[in-house]
A and B are shown apart, each in its own frame.
Chain A
Amino acid sequence: MPDPVDPCRVSELPLDELVACHECDLLMRKPHLALGEKAQCPRCGYELYAHRYKVVERSLALVIAALLLYIPANFLPIMQLNLLGQASQDTVWSGVLGLFNTGMQGIAVVVFLCSMGIPLLKLLCQLAVLLSIRWNIGRSYGLLIYRIYHHLRDWGMLEVYLMGVLVAIVKLADLAELSLGLGLVCFISLLLVQVWLEVVMSPHQIWQALSGEDIHAGD
């Protein structure tokens, strides 16, 4: 754990030897982390930053995997319902369309953003940032895009959507004949890859690599 700094000497220390907790504003001497370690705030327990291995390569692989899964996850049927000889299919996109066509445009937009729009934008932002680090181009755009990513972060809700699918399955299972589709498998895979990506892509290292403070930050 990092040490809180001695108040009388703090103003003399250069900024790059200090770290402040984002959640409680405690000022500390910056600890040196080995690969795979992480630093937590001693006062409130917030994770200050982590130092992970080969961040850019591993994240790039995961982003590309997630983008490949995105289309089948959203456009292949999640489930199929048979009632009195009629069949109807559900995809993430058809849910949005269904709401939109029944006059609930506001909710359709919210559902679209939380389950499709923002998750896609997040992935595209991550891809742009990683490519900008990897090819060493457009770092200033990279910084801007990474800021946008952090604002979008809370609003992608794939895991909540998956829970919604489960609730809907349970609700419908008694009423009609229900079969699950390939879309559900793709959706779950997309969710898992995305969670893994958020763990791997350690923000502190990305910011450092983007700003060129440390050329080996993403290694």
Chain B
Amino acid sequence: MEKQNQPDLENQDQPTRVLTDRLQQKLDYVTTLRQAITAGDDRLIYELIDGDHYHQALLNEEPDSTRNAQVDLITDVHPAISHYLSTKLIDYLAREYPFFYYEETHLGEFQIYFGNWWDRRRFGKLNVLKVAFEFDSDEFNKLQQTFALAATHKRFNTDQIQKISAASDQLQKLIDAQSDRDDQKDTLRKQLKENGQRNSLFDSGRIKEERQQIIDQLTKLADQDEQANNAHAAMKDNEAKILTLSKEDTILAYEKQAIENAFKSFENFNERNRSLYVDYLTTLIGKAQVADDEQ
């Protein structure tokens, strides 16, 4: 832009001067961000996109919302910035959290997968701009319970599996007892026949009552027969349920193992998650200093 075309600054009124100053600040902000990206200065980018958080978390300063005066300028390019920042962040996370895998489902949006085993779980999202995991609460709670149950040598689904197994055992007993029931039915039918042949004028009440008892027993046996007939299908259902539960237990055991290998305990893991922003930014600062020293 040519100088002579610029309006005379002297002639601007106060509000206009404020306006041009503010626009200049915006230009400076965006220019700095652009340069930081060109220079690969991820630390500076983090400072620019949320300066208030940066100063509080890393420099222990008081909150000051003016630090974030310009951040709304770039919200529309957040996905692209997130995509850009993910490269170094995921490199770092791969070392610190070797069991997490990421998939960029949309520009700058990252799904977390836990582990590389069969049917590993989707565990939540990685918020690159905030340097934070956003775990799926259901999945996280299961893992938490897995750690809690370990003290009692139980897995997440141990009780449920035991319950289903017991039900299957019961069904198997019903199937095994088929010939016993057949014998009982034979005996009862004979008794019923004898009962029918006994015609006593004086004892008819007792005979009737006896007859009803036999019929009740036969009905009960018939019910058990039917249960036994359906038992195979029910047991197959149970098998499928147990498989699903065992699979989940196996996955949770692998997750627990992975966390213990990397962090010793679930508590340490959670602590590291909480300090992830500071830890990561600190390494970026450290790298920047090393680079400066080398120059």
Q: Do A and B come from one complex?
A: no
Taking beta carbons and an 8 Å cutoff, which residues of B are in contact with A? none
